[in-house]
A and B are shown apart, each in its own frame.
Chain A
Amino acid sequence: MKLILSSCFLQMQLSFSRSMFRYCLLVDPIFFALITYMIYKDSSVENFIAYVILGTGLSSLFNNIVFSSAGDIDRERYMGTLEMIFTAPGGFRNIILGKIIGNTLLGLLSMLVVVVFLNIFFGVNMKIASPMFFVMAMLLSVVSFIAISLIMAAIFTLSRNSRGLMNCISYPVMILCGFYFPITILPEWSRVFSYILSPTWAVKLLREAVYGIKDYSSFYMESGILLALSAAYIVLFIILAGVMEKRVRVKATLGVY
């Protein structure tokens, strides 16, 4: 537990000391928000709030949690510290979890930046109809993003060339999960993927919480689905981590020499 915490703090400290990271965390989302704002400006107010704030905020958060966590594994590999944290008695899984939580907190900061920026420069306010449910949906979303991130980190530990993969899946996820537009406009066949990706449900719940929940039973049901998917991801991670911890010692991918 202590190790998770200290890995979390270390991660925040390390990440924040990289100037590129600060850019991605604080500046990039602002540009992103700006573009989205311009695109949606003349559409109805309803869309505006949901898609600009939730869309950019969530994708900053998502990218931060999932992609920087995965990239950090690679960074540790090149620093030569991956072998050390891998063999640490404290447990590699705890360290990964700590790192991901660290990135999550930073990601939330990034989301906050978007909200504050839009508020100050465009006077856009996010009116949340059901704040309680919004917080709950947010918590569930974060948990599910962390679960995805764990899986990614396990894959990245095992393979040395997964960096490419990481860059390839960012946009498909944003599209499939309806970060910027409802998935109902996507082709029928692609919705299968949407439904097994937990961010789809996260986005849906958050949007409902912002507009006001019309049908509570379906809100609970969707929360349940999100929770179940997250749990399934965590189980998958545990299985994967077990396999990874064995394979990595056979394949010798922890180091770069």
Chain B
Amino acid sequence: MENAIYVKDLVREYDVAKSREKGGKSVLQALKGISFEVNKGEIFGLLGPNGAGKTTTIKILTTMLTSTSGEARVLGYDVNRHEKELRNHINFIFGGERGLYWRLSARDNLMYFSDLYRLDRKTRTKRVPELLEMVGLADRADEKVERYSKGMKQRLQIARGLINDPKVVFLDEPTLGLDPIGARELKGIIKELKSLDKTILLTTHYMLEADELCDRIAIIDKGEIKALDTPDKLKKLNANMSVIEVTTIGISGQAIEELKLVNGVQLVNVQDMDQQQQLQIHCESPSMVVQGVLGVLSQFKVIDMCIREATLEDAYVKLVEGKE
């Protein structure tokens, strides 16, 4: 079976103007030759930190940008050359509140976008109310978008992105800025899309979201794919790994360096939370390591400490921050 999305050695460079003194322009390589394939009907996740190149990838695949080199096909169409044919069959949803006409009502937005996609009157009069119903905006469809909450705008974006009944849907951080309930509703809608047999490529930097939704995940960082597999297999990258989680107050940078040198410690990840720091110490056999760790920590106040199995999030942290 033909893939829905095929990406091979994709490179994208941006010209960025440097400061005056340095003079001239320089090139920023946002994608350094990534390759992946997405099967039909699959939910595929691009997971990565800020600036990883997720949005850039989506913009290339949705024909907003061209690639600098490499190959990219969606539904068999070359995105650089056959954009006109492709555009009818895909759509995209960007997280956040932009991309809608705020001064129009939800219904008018959808009406206009259905003209943009050249739907005939019959399809339009049927589909617009259906979509409004699906995203739960039917009873407020005639209010102006500027009065909507973030969650409502986000759901309207989804409806907009489905207006042409696309075969492939691209979602860029769809749950951006939503509260947990809003995010859950949205994830419900995304699962519903899968049941409608659509291929979905979504980006996110929330592991849990990726874990919950995606059939396969590519972890991307600084324009490179670090790992690509099912969530379960990615978790198994860390199969025999454990994490010692320590919450301390006022730990020094030097102590953290010392922790990294403790025998058996593979990685130390530090997260600042107010005055506290949470350390995640990755290792294979915590019982052997814990002694050395406590030795280093003896001069600092330890509030909490636990040992747990590695999760997908740990795998992600390890891939993105581990090898420097």
Q: How far in angstroms is the closest Cβ of chain B from A17?
A: 5
A13 nearest in chain B by CB position: B104
State the interface size on chain B (CB cutoff 8 A): 31
Chain A residues near B14 (CB-CB < 8 A): 252
- Pick the residue among B94, B112, B164 that contacts A80 (CB under 8 A): B94
Do A86 and B115 touch (CB < 8 A)? no
Q: How far in angstroms is the closest Cβ of chain B from A101?
A: 15
Do A88 and B116 touch (CB < 8 A)? yes
Asked if B250 CB lies within 8 Å of chain A CBs, one says: no
Beyond A3-B118, A14-B101, A80-B99, whether A87 also contacts B87 by CB under 8 A is yes
Kindly identify, within residues 229 to 246 of chain A, every residue whose CB is under 8 Å from any CB belonging to chain B.
246
Q: How far in angstroms is the closest Cβ of chain B from A173?
A: 30
Chain B residues near A18 (CB-CB < 8 A): 103
Asked if B98 CB lies within 8 Å of chain A CBs, one says: yes
Chain B residues near A95 (CB-CB < 8 A): 116
Chain A residues near B100 (CB-CB < 8 A): 79-81
How far, in whole Å, are A246 and B98 apart by their CA atoms in the complex? 24
Do A14 and B116 touch (CB < 8 A)? no
B83 nearest in chain A by CB position: A87
Q: Which chain B residues have a beta carbon within 8 Å of chain A's beta carbons?
A: 14-15, 55, 59, 62-66, 83-84, 87-88, 94, 96, 98-104, 108, 111-113, 115-118, 164
Q: Which of B62, B103, B111 has its CB near the most chain A CB atoms (within 10 A)? A: B103
State the interface size on chain A (CB cutoff 8 A): 29
How far, in whole Å, are A95 and B102 apart by their CA atoms in the complex? 18
Do B116 and A89 touch (CB < 8 A)? yes
Beyond A3-B118, A89-B117, whether A83 also contacts B99 by CB under 8 A is yes
Chain B residues near A81 (CB-CB < 8 A): 98-101
Do B117 and A90 touch (CB < 8 A)? yes
Chain B residues near A90 (CB-CB < 8 A): 115-118
How far, in whole Å, are A232 and B14 apart by their CA atoms in the complex? 34
Do B64 and A86 touch (CB < 8 A)? yes
Do A254 and B99 touch (CB < 8 A)? no
Chain B residues near A251 (CB-CB < 8 A): 15
Do A254 and B64 touch (CB < 8 A)? yes
A-B contact number at CB 8 A: 78
Q: Which of A13, A80, A249 has its CB near the most chain B CB atoms (within 10 A)? A: A249
Beyond A14-B104, A79-B101, A84-B99, whether A249 also contacts B94 by CB under 8 A is no
B14 nearest in chain A by CB position: A252
Q: How far in angstroms is the closest Cβ of chain A from B145?
A: 11
Chain B residues near A249 (CB-CB < 8 A): 63-66
Asked if A85 CB lies within 8 Å of chain B CBs, one says: yes
Chain A residues near B83 (CB-CB < 8 A): 87
Asked if A10 CB lies within 8 Å of chain B CBs, one says: yes
- 22 A–B pairs (Cβ distance < 8 Å), ordered by A: A2-B118, A6-B111, A7-B112, A10-B104, A10-B112, A79-B98, A79-B101, A80-B94, A81-B99, A81-B101, A83-B59, A83-B64, A84-B99, A87-B87, A88-B117, A89-B116, A89-B118, A90-B115, A250-B66, A252-B14, A252-B65, A254-B64
Do B102 and A79 touch (CB < 8 A)? yes
Do A88 and B99 touch (CB < 8 A)? no
Chain A residues near B104 (CB-CB < 8 A): 10, 13-14
Do A87 and B64 touch (CB < 8 A)? yes
Kindly identify, within residues 137 to 188 of chain A, every residue whose CB is under 8 Å from any CB belonging to chain B.
none
Chain B residues near A3 (CB-CB < 8 A): 115-116, 118
- Pick the residue among B55, B62, B102 that contacts A87 (CB under 8 A): B62
Top-8 shortest CB links A-B: A80-B98, A88-B116, A80-B99, A6-B115, A249-B66, A17-B103, A89-B87, A89-B88
Do A85 and B116 touch (CB < 8 A)? yes
Q: How far in angstroms is the closest Cβ of chain B from A2?
A: 6
Q: How far in angstroms is the closest Cβ of chain A from B121?
A: 9
How far, in whole Å, are A101 and B185 apart by their CA atoms in the complex? 41
Beyond A13-B104, A14-B104, A84-B116, whether A79 also contacts B64 by CB under 8 A is no
A245 nearest in chain B by CB position: B83
How far, in whole Å, are A89 and B116 apart by their CA atoms in the complex? 7
Chain A residues near B59 (CB-CB < 8 A): 83, 252
How far, in whole Å, are A84 and B117 apart by their CA atoms in the complex? 10
How far, in whole Å, are A246 and B65 apart by their CA atoms in the complex? 9
- Pick the residue among B62, B65, B84, B112 that contacts A6 (CB under 8 A): B112
Chain A residues near B62 (CB-CB < 8 A): 87
How far, in whole Å, are A59 and B138 apart by their CA atoms in the complex? 45
Question: What 1/0 flags go to A73-113 for Cβ under 8 Å of B?
Answer: 00000011101111111100001000000000000000000
How far, in whole Å, are A99 and B102 apart by their CA atoms in the complex? 17
Chain A residues near B63 (CB-CB < 8 A): 87, 249
B56 nearest in chain A by CB position: A252
